[in-house]
Structure 1
Amino acid sequence: MILSIILALLCLSFLIFIHELGHYFMARRVGMRVETFAIGFGRPIYSWVRNGVKWQIGWLPFGGYVRIKGQETEEGGDPYEIPDGFFGKSPWDRIKVAFAGPFMNIAFALLIFGLLYALGGREKNFSEFTHKIGWVDPKSQLYQAGIRPGDEITAYGSSAYSGIKDHLYMPMTQGDEIQVLGNKVNYFKKEKEPFKLSVKTYPNPLASDKGILTSGIVDSAHYIIYNKIGDKENPLLTGSPLENSGLQYGDRILWADGEVIFSLRQLNKILNDDRVYLTIERQGKILHKRVPRVEVQELKLDPEIRDELSDWQHEANLKSLKLNMLYALPYNLNNEAVIEKELKFIDRDTEEEAFPRHPFSDSEAPLLVGDKIIAVNGERIRFSYELLKLLQERKVTIIAERDSKILVPTNYDQSDNDFDDRTEWSDLKKIANSIGLEAPIRSSGNLILLKTVAPKKRSEFLEVQEDFAAAIQEERQRIEKIEDPEKRAYALNRLENEENQLQLGIPNVQDRKVTYNPGPIELFKGIIGEIYRTLYALLSGNLSPKWMSGPVGIVQVVHEGFMVSLKEVLYWIGFISLNLGVINLLPIPVLDGGTIVFALYEMVSGKRIKPKTMEKLIIPFGILIIGFFIFLTYHDLARVFKNIFPE
């Protein structure tokens, strides 16, 4: 880790070096006298003189400069009168010298992007580029409008969707309201219906900082693949519900309890929303529904229904449990598990949770009078007491995809089409429709129906997840030190909920890999577009400067690249070099762009800017830029420490 940080610092220093080298060579070419070439600021830790130029390395490695004769004159001196000085040369020569530094960074970025392209590009995750949505906040306007995981996003406003970062970037930069364009997708019918919605941005519910906004899309779709990690084994956790389910290395969890799975968040929702997967017969047709199971104490029961439940409890051999604590369906059934009527809830909030105004899918629609339940989680029943018994344990039905081709990277711009085409949706429908029948189909094509499993609480895996157990203990000790009783109770409740989350016991799942290799010009144009949108958002007030990265953040990004691959490092070096070049061309005094503006003014007007006037312009902007870098560094460090010591 220390080595990668040192390498990151060296990379940043190199980008500054080539920037200043551009100034140096052009200054020498037009006849200016270079006095000092410095990498870093502060007292030199090493220096030498070559060809009349003092070369030095400062103790602070962020930044650098080339000092040309005449740029700093004695009080009362006229820099325009120094023949081989910076201002002694023509405005055009000064423009060439000022532009040479940014040009070197821009040209170097193009060189890096070309090298990346020649090397075959980077290996990334499917989730980073897919247009498919992985999870939508249930409290969002998008969710209420019917947008769900698996649907596609094509644009935010007038900006075409380019990748996962847009879910964060666009809501942060486009104001209080954002337009979301995309397609509602029916995978089984292979149909897409365009949508266009304007929604309010709001604090991202998954972010600890309320300043991070979202449109409601909080995750991109990704594959859930169980496989080895490189050449290392990735065994299921001891006691994992999936141990004897039939799951194998290379399998992808494709479907669970009636829903195609597009993200871990969606799978987690299905595991923890306390619904049961039922096979029902309605007017001679077989249907499958996800129905809430609730504790008896949550329902308004007349004595007759309560007595009937008590009889079923006895027949199901559930006498060790109190009737009020048993799980039941919010329906009155006859003895043959036929729906007779819907039951009322005692608490309205519990009822709305069981039957939300905006259900996740059609499979959550309420049952109808006359529906006959014939299977629970694929297990056949004939009588209501059998139903009651099976309701007491949360189980989940899973279909996996088994295809070795899924482990082979696909091209990023074809990955969505591959996602649509690789799955035989007719095979999935065939297996899913047979669940709960007398002869269920266990496999079709490359799809496998796993054995029904019972998820376990996360706390049950503490003995085999030592890191998680230690983290839970540390968090509990930290919470107990909170003085405010309300905050302490809230934090403890949140921690308890985390421990009680139901899981399948897979230590690590993987996304499908894609090859990301756009042409160097395309990559160049994309980054230029990002820079433009960021600057526009900053100037319009839609983006707070605190979300930008300063020197510490830049080093951290390159450091993380070293932890991934050399190609990832190359990309970030090119990205930072291009940003450094473009930002230095901004028409701000102190920056190269300001120098170019001064020279252009002199060329057009024929008037020289007085040294005093130039000083009055440069000093305030210099102070502002130093203050801005201190501001960015503060927020960089705050983010680093927040990751190390989360609240």
Structure 2
Amino acid sequence: MATGILLALLCLSFLIFIHELGHYVMARLVGMRVETFAIGFGRPLYSWDYKGTKWQIGWLPFGGFVKIAGQEVNGEEDPYSIPDGFFGKSPLDRIKVALAGPLMNLLFAFLLFTVIWSFGGREKNFSEFTPKIGWIDPKSELYASGIRPGDEIVAYGNQPFSSFKDHLYAPMTASEDLLVQGNRVDYLTGAKKPFSTKVKVYPHPNSLEKGIMTAGILQPANYIIYDKLPGDKENPLPEGSPLEHSGIQYGDRIFWVDGEIVFSMQELNKILNDERVFLIVQRDGKEIMSRVPLVELEELRLDQQVKDELTDWQYEAGLGGVKPNQLKVIPYNLTSGLVVEGPLRFIDKDKEKEAFPEHMFSKLEEPLLPGDRIIAVQGEKVRTSSEMLKEIQRKKATVIIQRKSIKEAPVLWRLADAEFEEEIPGGDLKTLVDSLGQETPKTNSGSLYLLSSVIPKKRSEFTLSDEAKEQYSNEMKEALSQIERMEDPEKRAAALNLLENRENQLLLGLSGVQDRRVNYNPNPVEQFKSIIDEIYRTLYALVTGTLNPKWMSGPIGIVQVMNEGYKISSKEALYWMAFISLNLGVINLLPIPVLDGGTIVICLFELLSGKKIKPKTLEKLIVPFAVLLIVFFVFLTYHDLARLFKNFLPW
């Protein structure tokens, strides 16, 4: 880690060095006298003279500076009186010198983008660039309007979707209302229906920090692939994993669970833990899938006849040891032959709303109708209500995986979404699902395979090594520490409740799941333009007040990002160097007196007006902005440190 941080610091220093080199070269070309070119800061460790310039290496070898004669305005000497000084040259020559530094950064960034492009681009996860939704907040306006996992976002406001960062960036920089445009997608027919809706942005439900906003999209879509770890390392399932004897193999993708195509880990978690049971129901001669609420008997208002029937079924199912009020049932009155006669009443209306919400997750949650006959429960054929009652006392997931015999190379990111859609074989899926109500269900159709019985386990039921136990204990302490620092008591209570429920969360026991890799390789011009656009949007949001500057990265944050890039790959490291170089160039062109852009504006004023600005006026312009810039960097550094040491600092 120390090596990575050192390399990051050196690269950041190199970007500053080439910036100053641009100033130096242009200053010499226009006849200015460069007094000092420093590589690093602080007391010189080594220095030498070359062509009238003192070159020195500071004991802090990060960054550097160029000192041109007469450039430092102190109010005692007229800088315009120094013939080979900065202000002694024409405004046009000064503009050239001021412009040369930022241009070097821009050209260097373009060069690095070209190198990355010519070497085939970078490998990224599918989730980083797909517009497809992996999970959406059930309490959001988008969810209420019918948007679900698998649908896709086309644009936020007038900004076309470009990457997963837009799900956070657009709400963070938007005003109160945000226009969201996209498509509702039917993956079995391939049909897409456009939507456009305005929603209010609101605090991100998964964030413990104030100021993080969302429009409701909490996770992009991703593949859930069980495979070897990077470096071809083995990735055995945890001891006692529910998938241990299911038939799952390396390279398999969790494709479908309990009636739903799975688009993310958060959706998978919802399906496993939402207290519903997966049924195959016969209606009007056709078989349909349904996900029906599972409730404890004590939550229902029952007449004596229904109670007596349930008691009989309980003993027929061999469940005599279960207390009647703790018995899990579905809220429907059934015949002994599993024909629905009608719904049962809830004691608590709120419980009824939870079981039958106004906005259903999918059509599978629509209520059963009188006359419907249940023929399969959790993938198993049933004939009587007592068989069904026994089956639903323990959660069992019906899981279909997608298997490919050859491990594919990363697909081009532009084609990844189309391939994602093509990889959903509606016919094969229908073949497997239709067989679930039969005596012997099919186990394979095309690339799809039905896994053997999978009984999810609570997190607390897994056997962990001492090392894993310690790691989990530390994670819980860290999470609890963060929750205790939350100011909003309601949010703190909700987060604490979620943490406590985590122990009882049902899991499939997958380890080291991976997303599909895609080849991200836009041409240098595209990459350059996209980052310029990102910088513009950020600056606009800062000026208009829609983005809090504390979310920007300072020097420490930049070093962190570069360090992470080195850990991934050399091309990733080059990308972040290019990204930072481009930002450095653009920021320096802002029309602020202490920056190169401010110098250019002052020189343009002189060029157009023919008047020189007095030294004292220059000093009054530069000094306050220099102080503000220093304060701003201290502010950014403070928040960089706060994010870095949030587990140890009291904010």
What TM-score do you get using the length of structure 2 for normalisation?
0.95
Separation of aligned partners in 2, 1:107 and 1:498: 50
Residues 160 and 482 (structure 1), Cα distance of their counterparts in 2 relative to 1, 3 Å cut:
closer
Separation of aligned partners in 2, 1:551 and 1:616: 27
**SS in structure 1 at match of 2:642:** helix
Does structure 2 retain, via aligned residues, the 8 Å contact 1:151–1:184?
yes
Residue equivalent to 2:22: 22
Residues 617 and 75 (structure 1), Cα distance of their counterparts in 2 relative to 1, 3 Å cut:
closer
Separation of aligned partners in 2, 1:483 and 1:450: 44
**SS in structure 2 at match of 1:463:** coil
Residues 204 and 493 (structure 1), Cα distance of their counterparts in 2 relative to 1, 3 Å cut:
closer
Separation of aligned partners in 2, 1:474 and 1:128: 26
Residues 592 and 73 (structure 1), Cα distance of their counterparts in 2 relative to 1, 3 Å cut:
closer
Residue equivalent to 2:6: 6
Does structure 2 retain, via aligned residues, the 8 Å contact 1:359–1:365?
yes
Following TM superposition, by how much is the alpha carbon of 1:6 offset from its aligned partner in structure 2, in angstroms?
0.3
Which one-letter code corresponds to 1:127 in the other structure? S
Residue equivalent to 1:202: 202
Where does structure 1 lack aligned partners over 5 or more consecutive residues? none
Following TM superposition, by how much is the alpha carbon of 1:61 offset from its aligned partner in structure 2, in angstroms?
5.8
Does structure 2 retain, via aligned residues, the 8 Å contact 1:378–1:437?
no
Does structure 1 retain, via aligned residues, the 8 Å contact 2:381–2:436?
no
Separation of aligned partners in 2, 1:478 and 1:419: 35
**SS in structure 2 at match of 1:279:** strand
Residue equivalent to 1:296: 297
Residue equivalent to 2:368: 367
Which one-letter code corresponds to 1:598 in the other structure? I
Equivalence map 1:310-329=2 (5 Å): 310-329=311-330
Equivalence map 1:68-217=2 (5 Å): 68-72=68-72, 75-217=75-217
Which one-letter code corresponds to 2:392 in the other structure? L
Residues 219 and 479 (structure 1), Cα distance of their counterparts in 2 relative to 1, 3 Å cut:
closer
Following TM superposition, by how much is the alpha carbon of 1:468 offset from its aligned partner in structure 2, in angstroms?
5.2
**Deviations along 1:541-572, whole A, 9 cap, x unmatched?**
11110111110000000000011000000000
Which one-letter code corresponds to 1:376 in the other structure? V
Does structure 2 retain, via aligned residues, the 8 Å contact 1:62–1:551?
no
Following TM superposition, by how much is the alpha carbon of 1:475 offset from its aligned partner in structure 2, in angstroms?
3.4
**SS in structure 2 at match of 1:56:** strand
Residue equivalent to 2:38: 38
Separation of aligned partners in 1, 2:584 and 2:516: 33
Residue equivalent to 1:635: 639
Following TM superposition, by how much is the alpha carbon of 1:441 offset from its aligned partner in structure 2, in angstroms?
2.1
**Corresponding position: 1:614 with 2:618:** yes
Following TM superposition, by how much is the alpha carbon of 1:302 offset from its aligned partner in structure 2, in angstroms?
2.0
Following TM superposition, by how much is the alpha carbon of 1:71 offset from its aligned partner in structure 2, in angstroms?
1.2
Does structure 1 retain, via aligned residues, the 8 Å contact 2:73–2:79?
yes
Identity of aligned residues (%): 61
Following TM superposition, by how much is the alpha carbon of 1:490 offset from its aligned partner in structure 2, in angstroms?
6.3
**SS in structure 2 at match of 1:435:** helix
Separation of aligned partners in 1, 2:466 and 2:431: 38
**Corresponding position: 1:256 with 2:260:** no
Does structure 1 retain, via aligned residues, the 8 Å contact 2:108–2:581?
yes
Does structure 1 retain, via aligned residues, the 8 Å contact 2:75–2:615?
no
Separation of aligned partners in 2, 1:484 and 1:42: 42
Following TM superposition, by how much is the alpha carbon of 1:512 offset from its aligned partner in structure 2, in angstroms?
0.4
Separation of aligned partners in 1, 2:466 and 2:564: 25
**Corresponding position: 1:285 with 2:289:** no
Separation of aligned partners in 1, 2:446 and 2:215: 38
**SS in structure 2 at match of 1:262:** coil
Following TM superposition, by how much is the alpha carbon of 1:75 offset from its aligned partner in structure 2, in angstroms?
4.4
Which one-letter code corresponds to 1:205 in the other structure? P
**Deviations along 1:84-120, whole A, 9 cap, x unmatched?**
1000111111011000000100000010000001110
Following TM superposition, by how much is the alpha carbon of 1:643 offset from its aligned partner in structure 2, in angstroms?
6.3
Which one-letter code corresponds to 2:625 in the other structure? F
Residue equivalent to 1:444: 445
Residue equivalent to 1:418: 419
**SS in structure 2 at match of 1:576:** helix
Following TM superposition, by how much is the alpha carbon of 1:304 offset from its aligned partner in structure 2, in angstroms?
2.2
What TM-score do you get using the length of structure 1 for normalisation?
0.96
- Give the root-mean-square deviation of aligned CA atoms: 2.2
Separation of aligned partners in 2, 1:472 and 1:530: 40
Does structure 2 retain, via aligned residues, the 8 Å contact 1:406–1:512?
no
**Corresponding position: 1:598 with 2:599:** no
**Deviations along 1:278-306, whole A, 9 cap, x unmatched?**
11111221111011111111111222222
Which one-letter code corresponds to 1:337 in the other structure? L
Residues 645 and 318 (structure 1), Cα distance of their counterparts in 2 relative to 1, 3 Å cut:
farther
Which one-letter code corresponds to 1:115 in the other structure? V
Does structure 2 retain, via aligned residues, the 8 Å contact 1:377–1:436?
no
Separation of aligned partners in 1, 2:42 and 2:346: 71
Residue equivalent to 1:430: 431
Residue equivalent to 1:531: 535
Separation of aligned partners in 1, 2:618 and 2:361: 63
**Corresponding position: 1:578 with 2:574:** no
Which one-letter code corresponds to 1:247 in the other structure? I
**SS in structure 1 at match of 2:208:** coil
Separation of aligned partners in 1, 2:475 and 2:47: 49
Which one-letter code corresponds to 1:38 in the other structure? A
Residue equivalent to 2:229: 229
Residue equivalent to 1:355: 356
Following TM superposition, by how much is the alpha carbon of 1:469 offset from its aligned partner in structure 2, in angstroms?
4.7
**Corresponding position: 1:540 with 2:562:** no
Residue equivalent to 1:551: 555
Separation of aligned partners in 2, 1:406 and 1:346: 54
Residues 464 and 547 (structure 1), Cα distance of their counterparts in 2 relative to 1, 3 Å cut:
same
Following TM superposition, by how much is the alpha carbon of 1:478 offset from its aligned partner in structure 2, in angstroms?
8.7
Separation of aligned partners in 1, 2:564 and 2:393: 46
